[in-house]
Amino acid sequence: MNQKMKAAVITEVNKVELLDVKKPTPGEGEILVNIKACALCTWEQRTFSGVLKMPLPFLGGHEMSGVIEEVGEGINLEQYPIGQKVSLRTLYSCGSCYYCRQGKENMCIEAGKPVVDKHKEIWGPGGLGEYLVVTPKEIFKLPNDLPFEYGALTEPLACVVNSVEQGKVELGEDVVVIGAGIMGLLHVMVCKLRGARVILSEPSVERRKIAEELGADATFDPTKEDLVEKVKSLTEGKGANVVFNTTPIAAVAQQAINAVGKLGRVVMYSSIHPDKPIEVSPQWLHSKQVEITGAVSPTIKSFQTSSILLSKRLIVPEKLITAKYPIEEAQAAFELAVKPDSYRVIVTQK
């Protein structure tokens, strides 16, 4: 029997079509999840707009939540009951390389490998389809009263949890977050939870306002005030304890380094386009004991922490959701998602 399901598929640049594709059936040790909400992340947006050349057709969607619909043989129904609300970590990691065994699945030697799945008719992570077959290791349970759209943000929040851990933010420290896109705002929220004073640099007055509503203690416009001078003036000349750069701009990465103080940490959260070398004085690193690092993708542990933060409502991402569209209007959802002033746009399914 060949059952069908709906899927919002990118068929050409700037075009999403609702297609009938093969509905997967869970095999032994597998679980069928009915997807209810899927956020449109940069990967999907760039594939849609053609900036990223992915083979088309592409069934995107890697930030999603849903409910368990059916389980295959060998799955314990008490642990994975039908109707259980879940979010899914579908990024590939092998589980057996050196990095996976260190608990750093984001560094897996096969990370970034295209998601190939025997159940899929069209390639891609698949959150923009009605159903997805996964194994228990991809499943993170959510409480049944948590809105699906919050659950869909487990993945981006998990990336930020990993980043804040790289920054080793401590109670009372001065943290500078550069940029108030969705990732910058999530940094503001998580650093506030960690007990930091958060200073935000962002040119847009609307975005600065949202950051303040989410807890930023001080905000400023880096096109009007010099970032490094401003941070020094707010920290008695010391510079920041931690700086997170959430912008893709190499010149800003340089400012991030210049704004940190003795014993400070700088985290390059965003990927940098175009990637240009910046200057770092080895003597300054030596004498100030500064750490410069990066953060990419979530580990399994940070994914779990993220699902707990959302489940316990310690992070409430309401303000980060620009709009919700039913899957039938996926084209409109993508068109809004690629606009630079959008936060997350969510595609929902009944």
Contact positions vs Zn ion (CB under 5 A)? 41, 63, 93-94, 97, 100, 108, 155
Nearer to Zn ion, 132 or 290 (CB): 132
- Write down the least CB distance from residue 71 to Zn ion, Å: 26
Across-strand partners of 289? none
Nearer to Zn ion, 85 or 89 (CB): 89
Phi-psi region of 215 (alpha: psi -120 to 50; beta: other; left: phi over 0): left
CB 320 within 8 A of CB 342: no
Q: How far is CA 206 from CA 212, 216, 306, in A?
A: 10, 13, 26
- Write down the least CB distance from residue 133 to Zn ion, Å: 20
Other C-beta atoms closer than 10 Å to the C-beta of 97 total 16
- Write down the least CB distance from residue 297 to Zn ion, Å: 9
Q: Which residues contact 215 (CB under 8 A, 6 or more apart)?
A: 188, 189, 192, 198
Burial of residue 65, with CB atoms counted within 10 A of its CB: 0-12 exposed, 13-18 middle, 19 or more buried: buried
Q: Apex CA 152: angle with CA 148 and CA 154, to 5°?
A: 125
In our burial notation (b when 16+ CB lie closer than 10 A, e otherwise), range 257-292 reads bbbbbeebbbbbbbebeeeeebeeeeeeeeeeebbb
Tokens 């940094």: give the residue: 187
- Write down the least CB distance from residue 38 to Zn ion, Å: 11
- Write down the least CB distance from residue 41 to Zn ion, Å: 3
Q: How far is CA 235 from CA 230, 262, 266, in A?
A: 9, 12, 16
- Write down the least CB distance from residue 108 to Zn ion, Å: 3
Q: Apex CA 55: angle with CA 68 and CA 13, to 5°?
A: 95
Nearer to Zn ion, 108 or 180 (CB): 108
Q: What SS3 state is found at 338?
A: coil
Which ranges of 68-153 would DSSP assign to H, the alpha helix? Answer: 98-101, 148-151
- Write down the least CB distance from residue 80 to Zn ion, Å: 24
Q: How far is CA 51 from CA 10, 23, 46, 48, 254, in A?
A: 13, 30, 5, 8, 26
Nearer to Zn ion, 97 or 218 (CB): 97
- Tell me whether the omega of the peptide bond preceding residue 203 falls within 30 degrees of 0, making it cis: no
- Write down the least CB distance from residue 97 to Zn ion, Å: 3
Nearer to Zn ion, 149 or 173 (CB): 149
Nearer to Zn ion, 68 or 300 (CB): 300
Nearer to Zn ion, 40 or 268 (CB): 40
- Write down the least CB distance from residue 313 to Zn ion, Å: 22
CB 124 within 8 A of CB 154: no
Nearer to Zn ion, 130 or 155 (CB): 155
Nearer to Zn ion, 81 or 95 (CB): 95
